[in-house]
Amino acid sequence: MTWNLDTHLARTGTEPDPHTGALAPPIHTASTYARDSDGNPGAFVYSRLSNPTRQQFEEALALAEGGRRAMGFSSGMTAAMTICQALDPGDHVILPHDIYFGVRTLIANHFVRWGLEVTEVDQRDLNAVQEALKPTTRLVWVETPSNPQLNVIDIRAMARLTHSAGAQLLVDNTWSTPLITRPIELGADIVLHSVTKYLGGHSDVLGGALVFAKEDERCQRVVELSGEGGAVLDPFGAWLAMRGMRSLGPRLRHQCESALRIAKWLSAHSQVESVNYPGLASHPGHEIARSQMALYGGMLSFLVKGGAANALRVVNRSHLFANATSLGGTESLMEHRASIEGKGSPTPDNLLRVSVGLEHAEDLMADLDQALSA
Ligand SMILES: Cc1ncc(COP(=O)(O)O)c(C=O)c1O
């Protein structure tokens, strides 16, 4: 029988435990596993290499993303770091010009020194992407919608271009999750997640993941780097991630519904210059979003009239949006990204990024209204 993704997600880790019948998975904290009398290992050897709780999470995520193999990491950034480590000096990588700044910083500060060559491109312009491709290009990195400006990138077109150059396409699907966007079905080779965000969903776990469409050479290198280096998701983190995945459907649907209402309402607000949300018909990427997103996401950003000082005032006057970094939890967050990203940030200095939580949309709009109108 074929199930809907919601059903798979709701059942994450709920198969009865063979030893106890428990419907919530046990947390296997063992670091090592017994061999038989001939010295042969069983299914598990040592938890750096693989762990039953982590494996349960990895199998659930691979299924949700339609990939062949998933690997859990200790953070989204260790997932990003490991994929870079699986490239060789001299390899060329194309990054989007609007990307989670942590990834840009990590690559610029550390992997360029290792010998990776990097070009940043506005991937909304496919000709610019085509021109940036080189014979040495091995990886094209896409983030859609992008953080924090919510640019929408055409995954199908990027896959075509990337593959024509013999490179692989990685899509950071943290903001969308497989419930909204299915990058592997659209042609991506690798999907990256910060599990810390919507998959965990409660701002209480730090984790990351890579999902591979095929068990190819790059996947094998990542398996080796993960097992030999050990930047893996811990068992309790894997357990929390599975618990989050079970409620992802209803949580994210509610957040998307509220985000759309808030984005429309903000667009008409006298103190708002513009709103970035792919669900708005006026968003330049709306048509692409319609073709590759089932919903438009729980994230939005908007530009406040009156510059950075006014934007910061709005953050400080809000009661319901915590002024904190991160996203995808049950609580709403609002952040002045340019301050966080620091000098050289390409983010407009009057931009506020919002992660819409599970509070009632009307309360969130009332709170924003008082914060904007003061
Ligand atoms: C799109 C995206 N990718 C990756 C990361 C990094 O994940 P983590 O904080 O789990 O290391 C983040 C964090 O904000 C993110 O927003």
- The CATH number that applies at residue 282 is 3.90.1150.10
Asked if residues 354 and 302 have their Cβ atoms less than 8 Å apart, the reply is yes
- Of 251, 246, 219, 255, which is closest to residue 61 (Cα–Cα)? 246
Q: Are residues 221 and 298 in the same domain?
A: no
Residue ranges making up the domain that contains 240: 5-246
pLDDT under 50 in the chain at which residues? none
Looking at residue 364, what is its pLDDT? 98
The total number of structural domains in the chain stands at: 2
Q: Does the CB atom of residue 123 touch ligand 1 within 6 A?
A: no
| pLDDT for position 344 | 83
Residues 176 and 274 in one domain: no
Known catalytic residue at 197 = yes
Q: What is the spatial distance between Cα 142 and Cα 101, in angstroms, rounded to a whole number?
A: 13
In angstroms, the CA 113 to CA 85 distance is 12
Closest by CA to 169, choosing from 143, 142, 196, 148, is: 142
Q: Tell whether 276 and 229 lie within a shared domain.
A: no
Residue that is last in its domain, among 194, 229, 246: 246
H-only helix segments in 293-356: 307-317, 337-341
Q: How far is the CA of 174 from the centre of ligand 1 (A)?
A: 7
State yes or no: is 100 an active-site residue: yes
Same-domain check for residues 71 and 190: yes
* C-beta of residue 24 within 8 angstroms of C-beta of residue 14: yes
CA dihedral 49, 6, 187, 94 (to 10 degrees): -60
List pLDDT tens digits, range 221-249.
Answer: 999 999 999 999 999 999 999 999 999 99
Given a contact cutoff of 8 angstroms between Cβ atoms, the answer to whether 104 and 253 are in contact is: no
pLDDT score, position 155: 98
pLDDT score of 316: 97
| Mean pLDDT, the chain, whole residue set | 97
Q: Are residues 192 and 310 in the same domain?
A: no
* Residue 218 shares a structural domain with residue 366: no
Domain at 211, CATH number? 3.40.640.10
The model's pLDDT over 334-349, given as tens digits with 9 standing for 90+, comes to 999 999 998 888 899 9
**Domain stop point among 201, 231, 246:** 246
For residue 151 and ligand 1, the question of a CB distance below 6 A is answered with no
- Boundary-marking domain end, from 218, 246, 274: 246
Evaluate: CB of 347 within 6 angstroms of ligand 1: no
pLDDT at 20: 96
pLDDT recorded at residue 374: 75
199 and 332 assigned to the same domain: no
Whether ligand 1 lies within 6 angstroms of the CB of 147 is answered as yes
Q: Which of ligand 1's atoms lies nearest the C-alpha of 77?
A: 11
Together in a domain, 147 and 18: yes
Instruction: Annotate 48-58 with b (16+ C-beta within 10 A) or e (fewer).
Output: eebbbbbbbbb
Among candidate residues 154, 172, 189, 367, the one labeled active-site is 172
Say yes or no: 255 and 241 in one domain.
no
239 and 254 together in one domain: no
Q: Which residue's CA is minimally distant from atom 15 of ligand 1?
A: 100
Compute CA 327 distance to the chain's CA centroid, rounded to the nearest angstrom.
10
Whether residue 132 contacts residue 124, with contact meaning beta carbons closer than 8 Å, is answered with no
**What is residue 1's predicted lDDT score, i.e. its pLDDT?**
77
Kindly name the residue from 104, 124, 197, 353 that is annotated as catalytic: 197
Closest CA to 151 of 160, 159, 143: 143
134 is catalytic: no
Which among 355, 333, 335 is positioned nearest to 345, based on CA atoms? 335
Q: 62 with 182, same domain?
A: yes
Report yes or no: 128 and 262 within 8 Å, Cβ to Cβ.
no
| Helix ranges, the chain (H) | 5-10, 52-65, 76-85, 101-106, 126-132, 155-164, 177-180, 217-229, 235-246, 248-267, 286-292, 307-317, 337-341, 361-373
Return the residue matching tokens 């750096």: 48
* Residue 68 sits in the same domain as residue 199: yes
